[in-house]
């Protein structure tokens, strides 16, 4: 599952490739799961919108969309341009009997926006959550459409932005305003960080994973940051000193930033390629190293379960 650093890497790659582009038309597949907003609404909001920015909020990819102001040729009939986008529902979707027969002819869409010239919907956000196996691909339209493609956005630059997700835990939605909840771990300051955690009687590990407090610190990065800060995962948050909180926050930011840097060189793997390239990983010091010697003191790394999640720590280095 992509974690915050992977999502940040993907977002940087997307921002480089699609900022400033215009979505000409939208095709959405017939599987209902990936669509968190109604298909018609997504198609109407996206078609003819200008991609003003792409950024990350927690583990959500946020496309800021604005009406496209590029002047359109005057309508030949002399009538006013339609105010809203129209979408057409494709004929009842046919089952793809032969899965190998992919490509455009085999695509049966739920909704395909029309190519009417017109003004686009008001400014909004297109939100993509990759779930477990979601992937965004920016590519040439003649690149074969992979299995499990759920959305295709045709861009004015001639390329396509595709959403592919075999397991369908990913989600697509459009909203007028977006609140991802929680605080951004890379941006929060120490005072706010301490205020969030110091009253909590829960293990610090559970608190770090609580998305209402911090958004996007996953299991691996929580374990790694706690190891570097010398704090046991089961330690109650309320017993941690201000000095330890300062170190913990610094280590959280460092672990996330290291992972982002490590992923920087593999941006193209996420965004452009058609393969199943794995996610980059920071070299783990404790996560997944149960029984192996601590890299600092050689004590065997322990694994415990906190709130249903595996937690790894060194019993000597972490107090
Ligand atoms: Zn150790």
Tokens 């979707």 map to which residue? Answer: 93
Query: Would you say 198 and 245 are in contact if contact means Cβ atoms under 8 Å apart?
Result: yes
| Protein residues placing their CB within 5 Å of the ion ligand 1 | 294, 296-297, 299, 314, 316-317
Pairing between strand 60-67 and 87-89? unpaired
Report the separation in Å between the CA atom of 224 and the middle of ligand 1, taken as the mean of its atom positions. 12
Residue 270 token pair: 């996420």
SS3 category, 127: strand
Report the separation in Å between the CA atom of 192 and the middle of ligand 1, taken as the mean of its atom positions. 30
Report the separation in Å between the CA atom of 283 and the middle of ligand 1, taken as the mean of its atom positions. 16
Tokens 């770090």 map to which residue? Answer: 208
Tokens 């986008």 map to which residue? Answer: 85
Question: Among all residues, which ones are annotated catalytic?
Answer: 2-3, 59, 309
Pairing between strand 160-164 and 124-129? unpaired
Q: Alpha-carbon distance 284 to 80, whole Å?
A: 61
Nearest to 102, CA basis, from 167, 176, 157, 152: 152
Query: Would you say 132 and 167 are in contact if contact means Cβ atoms under 8 Å apart?
Result: yes
SS3 category, 150: strand
Report the separation in Å between the CA atom of 167 and the middle of ligand 1, taken as the mean of its atom positions. 38
Pairing between strand 309-313 and 149-155? unpaired
Q: Alpha-carbon distance 90 to 75, whole Å?
A: 26
Q: Alpha-carbon distance 198 to 291, whole Å?
A: 31
Write phi, then psi, for 209 (nearest 5 degrees). Answer: -85, -10
Looking at residue 124, its pLDDT comes to 95
SS3 category, 83: coil
Pairing between strand 171-175 and 124-129? antiparallel
**Mind listing the pLDDT tens digit of every residue in the chain (319 residues)?**
788 888 898 898 899 999 999 999 999 999 999 999 999 999 999 999 999 999 999 999 999 999 886 555 554 443 433 333 333 333 333 223 333 344 554 566 767 765 444 555 679 999 999 998 899 999 999 999 999 999 999 999 999 999 999 999 999 999 999 988 899 999 999 999 999 999 999 999 999 999 999 998 989 999 999 999 999 999 999 999 999 999 999 999 999 998 888 765 444 445 543 333 434 556 889 999 999 999 999 999 999 999 899 999 999 999 9
Report the separation in Å between the CA atom of 142 and the middle of ligand 1, taken as the mean of its atom positions. 53
Report the separation in Å between the CA atom of 246 and the middle of ligand 1, taken as the mean of its atom positions. 21
Domains of the chain with CATH codes: 4-175 (3.20.190.10), 190-313 (1.10.8.50)
Report the separation in Å between the CA atom of 317 and the middle of ligand 1, taken as the mean of its atom positions. 4
Write phi, then psi, for 180 (nearest 5 degrees). Answer: -80, -5
Burial of 101 (0-12, 13-18, 19+ CB in 10 A): exposed
Q: Alpha-carbon distance 290 to 104, whole Å?
A: 48
Looking at residue 88, its pLDDT comes to 35
Query: Would you say 25 and 154 are in contact if contact means Cβ atoms under 8 Å apart?
Result: yes
């Amino acid at each position: 599952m992509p974690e915050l650093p992977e999502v940040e890497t993907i977002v940087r790659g997307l921002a480089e490739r699609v900022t400033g582009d215009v979505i000409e038309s939208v095709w959405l597949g017939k599987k209902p799961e990936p669509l968190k907003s109604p298909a018609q609404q997504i198609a109407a909001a996206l078609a003819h919108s200008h991609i003003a920015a792409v950024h990350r909020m927690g583990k959500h990819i946020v496309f800021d969309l604005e009406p496209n102001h590029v002047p359109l040729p005057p309508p030949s009939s002399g009538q006013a341009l339609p105010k809203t986008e129209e979408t057409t529902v494709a004929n009842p979707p046919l089952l793809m009997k032969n899965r190998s027969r992919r490509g455009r002819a085999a695509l049966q869409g739920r909704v395909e926006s029309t190519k009417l010239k017109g003004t686009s919907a008001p400014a909004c956000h297109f939100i993509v959550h990759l779930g477990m196996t979601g992937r965004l691909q920016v590519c040439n339209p003649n690149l074969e459409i992979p299995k499990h493609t759920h959305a295709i956005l045709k861009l004015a630059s001639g390329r396509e932005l595709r959403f592919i997700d075999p397991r369908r835990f990913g989600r697509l939605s459009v909203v007028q305003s977006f609140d991802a909840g929680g605080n951004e771990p890379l941006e929060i300051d120490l005072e706010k960080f301490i205020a969030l955690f110091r009253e909590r009687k829960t293990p610090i590990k559970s608190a770090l994973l609580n998305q209402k407090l911090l958004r996007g610190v996953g299991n691996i990065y929580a374990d790694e940051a706690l190891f570097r800060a010398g704090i046991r995962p089961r330690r109650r948050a309320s017993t941690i000193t201000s000095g330890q909180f300062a170190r913990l926050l610094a280590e959280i930011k460092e672990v996330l930033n290291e992972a982002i840097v490590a992923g920087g060189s593999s941006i193209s793997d996420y965004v452009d390629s058609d393969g199943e390239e794995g996610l980059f990983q920071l070299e783990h010091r404790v996560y997944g190293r149960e029984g192996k010697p601590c890299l600092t003191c050689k004590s065997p790394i322990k694994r415990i379960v906190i709130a249903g999640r595996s937690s790894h720590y060194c019993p000597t280095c972490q107090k």
